[in-house]
Structure 1
Amino acid sequence: MNLETPKKFRGLVNQAHQVAEHYFRPISRKYDKAEHAYPKELDLLAALLDGMNAGSPDAIGATSASKRGAAREQQEGIKNGGNMSALLGVMELCWGDVGLLLAMPRQGLGNAAIAAVANDEQLARFGGTWAAMAITEPGCGSDSAAIRTTAIKDGDHYVLNGEKIYVTSGERADSVVVWATLDKSLGRAAIKSFVVEHGTPGMSVTRLEKKLGIKASDTAAISFSDCRVPAANLLGNPEIDVQKGFAGVMETFDNTRPLVAGMAVGVAKASLDRTRELLKKVCKLDYRAPLLSVSHAEATLYRLEAEWEAARLLTLKAAWMADNKLPNSKEASIAKAKAGRVANEVTLKCVELAGALGYGEDELLEKWARDSKILDIFEGTQQIQLLIVARRLLGKSSSELK
């Protein structure tokens, strides 16, 4: 694994960084204070990204995060494809603002789910949609297998009934990828994902959540009452494979968890960069000096930078494995667990190192600290990631190790 940014992606990375610095940062505080207001500035940016990404599997957005791109590659040897490009773009954009990245049209986690498991016909049909992802339910958070939303086959449709909560972009997105069970008696093997377009009768947004951070992004609760969805909107294989179990649906996370880890890496780097600038006014920041001979603030910054680098490399590895068609479920969870925890520690410590300046709204440090907390929670909590890693290392199933 080459640890340098692949040459073919350096242009994309530079473009993403320019967007973060000159587009996201200037409006970051505005939409942090105006929760639930849609950032209109993102419409133009989304159109520009669509043009940049047109026809390219190596694009910035969530739609390129899939093992499918690696399957189309014909050349031999190591590949850097859609997962790596999406990750590198996400890292840079979240250096600007996590909430605004999550609010970007057509870059929802549902788009990554479609890219991961949809068939060719569905990819073509949903290519221009903005898709949110609806998994969590009241009383069913970390245990995705406990989903109670049902999908009952009725002719050429499925009828959905249930409630979803904490749906990122749930109100603004064009459609929502909904996880539901075809047969509760068959357990997790019967859980499938469906693309449900906004405006479908029986689907309604019941409330918007008020949050600690990522306020530029809307987070919705959605109910489904006899909501009829075309059978063609079921992503992947409609057959229930008890032997394969939950694996088909869970493959989505192999692609999305590295992206969430990348968000954490991005916001942590933003905090480190700004704190380094502030400390330069009072510290020498000599990286050649032994830790015992520097101030506590310097030593703390160096330790945080080392933790950040570890999280970054683990995250790159998970995406690289996906591009090279290697099983990466364990590595995706390792990256998500490490990066989420590191982002929380780094952003809070940077507020502490900056003192009163870091706590005030004149700086974005306090905002980054608030934004970072969700990155250790959604797409599977820290505790769930560690449990998944333990299962992979010990060769245990979810029923054997809870």
Structure 2
Amino acid sequence: MNLETPKKFRGLVNQAHQVAENYFRPISRKYDKAEHAYPKELDLLAALLDGMNAGSPEAIGATSASKRGAAREQQEGIKNGGNLSALLGVMELCWGDVGLLLAMPRQGLGNAAIAAVANDEQLARFGGTWAAMAITEPSCGSDSAAIRTTAIKDGDHYVLNGEKIYVTAGQRADAVVVWATLDKSLGRAAIKSFVVEHGTPGMTVTRLEKKLGIKASDTAAISFSDCRVPAANLLGNPEIDVQKGFSGVMETFDNTRPLVAGMAVGVAKASLDRTRELLKKVCKLDYRAPLLSVSHAEASLYRLEAEWEAARLLTLKAAWMADNKLPNSKEASIAKAKAGRVANEVTLKCVELAGALGYGEDELLEKWARDSKILDIFEGTQQIQLLIVARRLLGKSSSELR
């Protein structure tokens, strides 16, 4: 197994790192303090990325995270594709700033959802759209199958009614990918995803959340009241397949969970890199020395680095499997669970290792600790990921193992 970054992606990774270091880092604190202010600097950056990624299946953004082209690539013997390139780019950009990445135009989690399940006509139609993802509701948190937002067919439209909360980029994005049920009596099998464009009558942003971290990114609550959405905006197959059940829309998570895990890996690496620099002033950092012979600070750093490396490799595996069209639901959840927990532990421990310096605003360490917490929560909490892994390992359904 070759664990090096594929040669064809090294240019993209280097570009992403340069953006993180020279573009994100200098404005990171500015937008951490100015919550809900849109980072206008991102408009130019988004245009540059669009130009670099145009026509390229190995792009940095969320739109390249899909299993769609995997079959063709597999026939040609290509094992590293859009999912891995998107992941590698996300890791580097979040080394700069997680909130700014989440605020990037046309790089929302809704874009990954479109890439995952849209048909060819929809892919072309929504190609330049910035899409947020709306799943969570006041009545259902971690249980996505308990969605109450309804979508009732009415001629060439669906009429949506319900409320969504914690929608990342919900106010700024051009459109929102909304999960709704076609028939509550059929349970999870009837849940479909719809692209609802901002400005559609009946869709209202009701509030913006004030948050612990990722303040550069807006997080919105959105209500839908008799909101008429064209039937052509239902992503994927409109038919309800009770046998297939929930798997259609859940394929989205197979692509997005490795990306969120990559965000966690990126911010954890930022904390480790800075803490290593600070510790070098007082420690030798000799990796050849036995752990029992080094200081507690050194031993703690080495342990955190090992945990980080494990999270990184699990995350790369989940994306690689998607590129090779292998079932990766379990691996995506393993990566998300591991990386989310590791990022929380690493960033908080790095604040501790840096002492008073890590707690102040002269360093970004305290910001990274705040930003990292959400990465263990959204796209499925730590507990939900472990439950999914247990179901896959034991061969149990969601009704059998809750």
Structure 2 Cα separation of the partners of residues 371 and 235 of structure 1: 31
1:233-255 deviation per Cα after TM superposition (whole angstroms, max 9, x unaligned): 00000000000000000000000
Deviates more, 1:78-87 or 1:108-117: 78-87
**1:72: how far off?**
3.0
**1:69: how far off?**
2.1
**1:74: how far off?**
5.7
The answer on whether the counterparts of 2:179 and 2:192 sit within 8 Å (CA) in structure 1 is yes
Structure 2 Cα separation of the partners of residues 62 and 212 of structure 1: 24
Which stretches of structure 1, 4 residues or more, deviate above 3 A after TM superposition? 74-78
Output the TM-score relative to the length of structure 1: 0.99
Structure 1 Cα separation of the partners of residues 62 and 399 of structure 2: 32
Structure 2 Cα separation of the partners of residues 29 and 106 of structure 1: 23
1:122-156 deviation per Cα after TM superposition (whole angstroms, max 9, x unaligned): 00000000000000000201000000000000000
1:177-217 deviation per Cα after TM superposition (whole angstroms, max 9, x unaligned): 00000000000000000000000000000000000000000
The answer on whether the counterparts of 2:74 and 2:324 sit within 8 Å (CA) in structure 1 is no
The answer on whether the counterparts of 2:261 and 2:375 sit within 8 Å (CA) in structure 1 is yes
SS at match of 2:201: coil
**Aligned equivalent of 1:63:** 63
Structure 2 Cα separation of the partners of residues 213 and 74 of structure 1: 40
SS at match of 1:73: helix
**1:71: how far off?**
2.5
1:52-100 deviation per Cα after TM superposition (whole angstroms, max 9, x unaligned): 0000010000000000021232644351000000000000000000000
**Aligned equivalent of 1:342:** 342
SS at match of 1:326: coil
SS at match of 1:74: helix
Structure 2 Cα separation of the partners of residues 25 and 38 of structure 1: 16
Deviates more, 1:128-137 or 1:76-85: 76-85
**Aligned equivalent of 2:120:** 120
1:298-347 deviation per Cα after TM superposition (whole angstroms, max 9, x unaligned): 00000000000000000000000000000000000000000000000000
Unaligned 5+ segments in structure 1 are none
Coordinate RMSD, CA, aligned: 0.6
Structure 1 Cα separation of the partners of residues 4 and 78 of structure 2: 14
SS at match of 2:75: coil
**Aligned equivalent of 2:166:** 166
Structure 1 Cα separation of the partners of residues 123 and 179 of structure 2: 18
Structure 1 Cα separation of the partners of residues 384 and 94 of structure 2: 24
Structure 2 Cα separation of the partners of residues 386 and 77 of structure 1: 33
**1:397: how far off?**
0.2
Aligned length: 402
SS at match of 1:67: coil
**1:374: how far off?**
0.1
SS at match of 1:340: helix
Say if 1:69 and 1:305 are closer, same or farther in 2 by CA, change over 3 A. same
SS at match of 1:399: coil
Q: What percentage of aligned pairs have identical amino acids?
A: 97
Deviates more, 1:268-277 or 1:66-75: 66-75
**1:2: how far off?**
2.1
Deviates more, 1:66-75 or 1:141-150: 66-75
The answer on whether the counterparts of 2:106 and 2:129 sit within 8 Å (CA) in structure 1 is yes
Structure 2 Cα separation of the partners of residues 110 and 44 of structure 1: 21
Structure 1 Cα separation of the partners of residues 347 and 363 of structure 2: 12
